Amino acid sequence: MLKYQHIAEEIENYIEEHKLQQGDKLPVLQDLMSQFEVSKSTVTKALELLETKGVVFQVRGSGIFVRRHKRKGYISLLSNQGFKKNLEEFQITSKVIQLDVRKPTTEAALNLNIGPDDDVYYVKRVRYIQGQPLCLEESYFNKSIVTYLNNEIITESIFNYITDGLGLNVGFSDMFLHIDKLTEEEAGYLGLEKGDPKLYVESIFHLTNGQPFDFSKVTYNYVQSQFFIQAVI
Amino acid sequence: MLKYQHIAEEIENYIEEHKLQQGDKLPVLQDLMSQFEVSKSTVTKALELLETKGVVFQVRGSGIFVRRHKRKGYISLLSNQGFKKNLEEFQITSKVIQLDVRKPTTEAALNLNIGPDDDVYYVKRVRYIQGQPLCLEESYFNKSIVTYLNNEIITESIFNYITDGLGLNVGFSDMFLHIDKLTEEEAGYLGLEKGDPKLYVESIFHLTNGQPFDFSKVTYNYVQSQFFIQAVI
């Protein structure tokens, strides 16, 4: 984690601890600089990151203000940190259905920008929130980047492992969302009826250098999941 | 529109015209500065905006690269520009169901941060894509900000009118997404069956000064709509 990212986290903690509300003003730049003992450019970059993440908004000539329309229990669609972080007030668990090394499907190869003979880790798991099925997840990891996975790792947060364990820098993601009806197989995993609504999300996660490393397909249980997005212009 | 926003648009047009693909490198800062005849800080701010919007990504020490995983016909969930801009290759039309000035519901008052006796414009319309029902939309506009609406305006893009007509600066939005089943009324408007899947989105749109001006509730036709998000860290 870079210094400004760390300071961004500190500022988020500050907002949390001081129970700041929507529209509350943050301390001025000078005060943030002395409080965190960092340079102006570090604080500025941290604030820009927080603006991008929808944590604060800046009003020219007037200051930096808190955004806090977050509703409890909503999953952020803009976070690349995985659910564990996102829903940390809830108990998130996983059941592994499948883990193996295989050749990618045509679709996975295309989205991961690899050849048909390259290896991928294939992970299929059901994730639970407070013991209730939250989603069914299928992921294809480019094995030349995510070099090792095992059952223990994928029962926990894969993203924590990727960043902390493998030391990779997760950059950005492209997500494609569809609403549809559950198939019988999906309904079985999620404890719902065939034909019930689903949110189906395809995501391509990239490293900061632009290389895609994870192509995932997630089917959400509509009863257990709700989402929020804090968008900038 | 501020200068760097204009330059950001120009760079987007440049990417479009040169048919740049995912991972293609943009000209260096110096070249962009001379091409658009603006200062370094303007180009830098423009590029930051484009990074936030998911149009480009920056690799430290290596350059600025194009993001282009957009799939045709997908609605961007991060755009505050409305569908008209978003789906400009398609024909988007609207049928107005209701337009009046009224007192806000408790929910609308809360989300718009106004009192129960303040006036709102209430707009209910069905939007169509290529003649097919795309979504049912109910919006509450704070009348002290959006001072005038009529049938002609709301048949077209309300957001174009708000920015170009009223000269307001649209800032950020908070969106809350739920998957559920259509009610009979909603199904009727969308040409679907009661119980069919729906994406239901509540949005609160703010001016750049942080003031909420529009609280909207949109129910999407799952057959006609698909969405994308280009997320940063």
Q: What is the pLDDT of residue A88?
A: 64
Taking only residues 148 to 187 of chain A, the set having a beta carbon closer than 8 angstroms to any beta carbon of chain B reads 170-181
Contact A172 B231 (CB under 8 A): yes
In a domain, B112, yes or no: yes
pLDDT in tens, B174-219: 899 999 999 999 999 999 999 999 999 999 999 988 899 999 999 9
Contact state of B222 with A179 under an 8 Å Cβ cutoff = yes
From chain B residues 187-206, the ones with a CB under 8 A of any chain A CB are: 196-199, 204, 206
Q: In B, which residues are within 8 Å of A230 by CB distance?
A: 172-175
Residues B93 and B124 in one domain: yes
Q: Which amino acid is at B155?
A: T
Instruction: Output the domain CATH number for residue A141.
Output: 3.40.1410.10
Q: Is position B233 within any domain?
A: no
Domain count, chain B: 2
- The DSSP H or E segment spanning B64 is strand B63-66
Q: Is B73 on the interface with A (CB under 8 A)?
A: no
**CA of B124 to nearest chain A CA: how many angstroms apart?**
23
| B62 compared with A52, residue with greater pLDDT | B62
Percent of chain B with pLDDT over 70: 93
Q: Identify whether residues A106 and A17 lie together within a single domain.
A: no
Yes or no, beta carbons of B229 and A57 under 8 Å apart: no
DSSP codes joined into one string, A45-87: HHHHHHHHTTSEEEETTTEEEE-----TTPEETT-SS-HHHHT
- Nearest-neighbour CA in chain B from A214: distance (Å): 14
Question: What average pLDDT score do residues B8-32 get?
Answer: 89
- For residue A74, the 8-state DSSP code is P
Stretches where chain A sits below pLDDT 70 are: 69-70, 79-89, 232-233
Edge-first strand listing for the sheet containing B170-181 = A75-76, A226-231, B170-181, B197-207, B212-221, B132-142, B120-129, B92-102
Min Cα separation B170/chain A (Å) = 7
Note whether A230 contacts B: Cβ–Cβ < 8 A.
yes
Query: SS3 for B49-63, per residue?
Result: HHHHCCCEEEECCCE
Q: Is A117 on the interface with B (CB under 8 A)?
A: no
Q: Average pLDDT of B95-120?
A: 96
Q: In angstroms, rounded to a whole number, what is the distance separating the alpha carbons of residues B32 and B22? A: 19
Same domain? For B46 and B122 the reply is no
* Last residue of one domain, picked from the residues A11, A41, A66: A66
The amino acid present at B152, given as its one-letter code, is E
- A233 is a domain residue: no
Question: Does A210 contact chain B (CB < 8 Å)?
Answer: yes
- The residue among A12, A37, A66 that closes a domain is A66
Report which DSSP code applies to B25: B
Q: How high is the pLDDT of residue A32?
A: 93
Q: Does pLDDT of B86 surpass 90?
A: no
A205: closest CA of chain B, how far (Å): 9
Contact A67 B174 (CB under 8 A): yes
Looking at the partner chain, which of A57, A79, A199 has a beta carbon nearest the beta carbon of B171?
Answer: A57
Question: Do B99 and B151 reside in the same domain of the chain?
Answer: yes
Do both A190 and A80 map to the same domain?
yes
pLDDT of residue A150: 95
Residue B80 to chain A, least CA–CA distance (Å): 6
**B66, B96, B116 — which closes off a domain?**
B66
CA distance B146 to B157: 14
Residue A110's domain comprises: 75-228
- State yes or no: ipTM above 0.90: no
Share of chain B above pLDDT 90, in %: 59
Domain co-membership, A21 together with A51: yes
